[in-house]
A and B are shown apart, each in its own frame.
Chain A
């Protein structure tokens, strides 16, 4: 009985001193720094007890953050801005990926330029980075999104491939590694990367709950330190990273994932600027996804990254 009590107290003390930190991630190539950190025990090396948990969708990560079940999450920047605009107390603390999205068409479609998409049906995911960048690209090419093309909204990336292959849509706004897979498998063609319209545009960001920022700043700093290390690893060891990604993203060929990690297709990066956050928020407002642009200091906290950079 006494032993049980001692064990109980020890476990309680350990949990108090080393609280478990949950980070919600999805299966995406630019989430790879978190897979690497998890795989190679980089959090443990910093004395942290972190669980990197795979979650099916961005909204579920935000919902878990809202409930304070997760302390941190990784998802595309529009998801973060939409959540913040609705009062969810989270802040962007770092970046994880840039670019890696574009428009996919069938090889035999005859579509040569973005302008050729006029009066065509395009698959996308409503209010996602793919939706925003698609609208932005269409506008840049002189097309009026709602008037000149027909958007068809899907829930998941995988759901958009079938309709494209069966010609129920003429194009699909898609992301890596699906784009590279379509190209290397020979059935699809990347019409354009959105980088052509907004060079190195932000994609997935690292987000922390305000309570976590306030209560465990040291741990947040350590997690971001690991994030920077993992990003360096990802950029130097692409072959190993591709192998690790495939452990998390079942069903993908490591060679395809390796190719999708090439700098011309996407970038894994941690730096983010207030200007690009504001630009994304402005686009979201223009496309009716948010009503008001939250102040940048409500969206972004770069103090931890700056401190790490000074070191």
Chain B
């Protein structure tokens, strides 16, 4: 059985158990509607064309907020990782902002960026950037200095050492933090769409909550999860191609099906 089928099997079991629990009234359907009702609502909204508008709006905000977070955190993370004395200046500031939940930024986001998309994108950015920045900084800090020394001995300058030794060394960790960052972006989308937007999955969920349409809330959760999973798969594909050189070097290959010592 291939990997996708294995994952799908567990999803189907999960949906089956949920359907059974709801249909048999083990949990009141008011509190937990069955997945078939959620899928039916999805079909209704999809055929009315409403769902696409919400998906498009959220996708645009998440991708923009996420890309901005990468653009900010990748170079700064590398610089702070390579220059610990500079990092000492930044550290208190980063630690101060990192624990703040995205909704705490809403009033300031409105004041600074106005209402609508810009404020929503800022909230996604701010909810994502600190974790990615600290992760990339930490990964850069732990690059083996002997690798850089060898490079410099073989005639590389500092710029080449960064581009050809440091960046490839941190690449596996960067991909991990990208995936974490992407998940955080989707987690921020509901909070970001509290800011005077007219469309978006988060907006749809907030409206559904106000109107007690539990099916729509669950549908929104499913869509966010599905989109997040889809983009994560795309990042994994890119990771697979970019990090081809790591094939045959990883410990997990010694375990499970790849036990080939």
Hey, which bits of chain A sit against chain B, CB under 8 A?
58-59, 62, 66-67, 79, 82-83, 86-88, 123, 125-128, 151-155, 159, 162-163, 166, 168-169, 289-290
Contacts and interface: CB of A to CB of B under 8 A. Distances in A.
Nearest to A82: B211
Contacts of A168: 110, 114-115
Interface in B21-75: 28, 30-31
Given A82-B212, A153-B197, A168-B114, A66 B207 contact: no
Contacts of B197: 153
6 contacts: A66-B28, A125-B210, A152-B115, A152-B116, A152-B198, A159-B106
A46 B195 CA distance: 45
Contacts of B111: 162, 166
Contact of B196 (A66, A128, A154, A290): A154
B211 A151 contact: no
B57 to A, nearest CB: 13
Contacts of A59: 209-210, 212
B194 interface: yes
A166 B196 CA distance: 14
Interface centre among B31, B111, B195, B210 (most CB of A within 10 A): B210
A166 B114 CA distance: 9
Contacts of B203: 153
B107 interface: yes
B189 interface: no
Q: Binding site of B, secondary structure by majority: helix, strand, loop or mixed?
A: loop
Interface residues of B, number: 24
Given A126-B206, A163-B196, A86 B114 contact: no
Nearest to A150: B198
Most chain A CB within a 10 A radius of its CB, from B30, B207, B209, B212: B212
Given A58-B210, A59-B210, A290-B211, 8 more contacts: A59-B209, A66-B28, A88-B212, A153-B196, A153-B198, A154-B195, A159-B106, A163-B115
B209 A67 contact: no
Contact of B30 (A58, A79, A88, A153): A88
B256 to A, nearest CB: 44
A151 B116 CA distance: 11
Interface in B187-213: 194-198, 203, 206-207, 209-213
B143 to A, nearest CB: 44
B212 A152 contact: no
Contacts of A155: 194, 206
Given A59-B210, A62-B212, A88-B212, A162 B30 contact: no
B214 A128 contact: no
Contact of B211 (A67, A163, A169, A289): A289
B107 A127 contact: no
- Most chain B CB within a 10 A radius of its CB, from A82, A153, A159, A162: A153
B104 to A, nearest CB: 13
B30 A87 contact: yes
Sorted nearest first, the 3 A-B pairs with minimum C-beta distance are A152-B196, A86-B212, A127-B210
A299 to B, nearest CB: 14
Contacts of A151: 198
A86 B214 contact: yes
Interface in B162-203: 194-198, 203
Contact of A123 (B31, B107, B194, B196): B196
A162 B212 contact: no
A209 to B, nearest CB: 12
Interface string B210-249: 1111100000000000000000000000000000000000
A7 to B, nearest CB: 35
Contacts of B212: 59, 62, 82-83, 86, 88
Q: Which of A128, A151, A163 has the most B CB atoms < 10 Å from its CB?
A: A163
